[in-house]
Amino acid sequence: MFDIDIKFNDICIKSIQEKDIHKLKKWFISQHMDLKYYIDFNDLYERFLEYYMSECEFFLEINKHQNLCGILKGRIEFKSKNMVWISCFCVNEDFIDKDEQKFILENILNYFCKSFGVSCFLTGVAQSEKNTIKILREINFKVIRVNKEFYTSYKNKEDLLILQKIN
């Protein structure tokens, strides 16, 4: 688990603690009532434990004016080329517009670059997440691979796009 605390403008990004899980669950449900791939509390808590028990995971809450407005989850890998995988970036678009989302992501990426020498950033995004893909492309992420029908449920089959930040 990485302990992260980043502040800029009116945004505070910090590591999620166990006491925050119920608040996070409540926020997550209020933001995603129409999710095709629902996450229940046990799944959320399991993801928290994965992060908490791992040296290389991060699970962050994004606050604006001290109100929870988003989350970011991922892991850092220290190899010949240090890299960060972002597994989840989710914000309340009523409070954080597209420009702020880009600004937040750029600040987080800069933090990892300066603090840990990370030079490679990757993420996976469902093909239907058009807004997220557009934001990532605007900060120089490019699609490098497509995993066909990665997401499946009884109603849906959807591709996963793997994107990498190109400097």
The average pLDDT across 85-111 equals 91
CATH number of 5-165: 3.40.630.30
Residue ranges covered by each domain of the chain: 5-165
Q: d(Cα 50, Cα 92) in Å, to the nearest integer?
A: 24
Q: With bands split at pLDDT 50, 70 and 90, how would you rate the model's confidence at 158?
A: confident
pTM of the model as a whole: 0.83
At 35-61, the pLDDT tens digits run 444 556 677 677 777 777 788 889 899
The proportion of the chain whose per-residue pLDDT surpasses 90, expressed as a percent, equals 46
Q: d(Cα 125, Cα 105) in Å, to the nearest integer?
A: 15
Half-sphere exposure of 24 (CA within 13 A, CB side): 26
Pairing of strands 83-91, 120-126: parallel
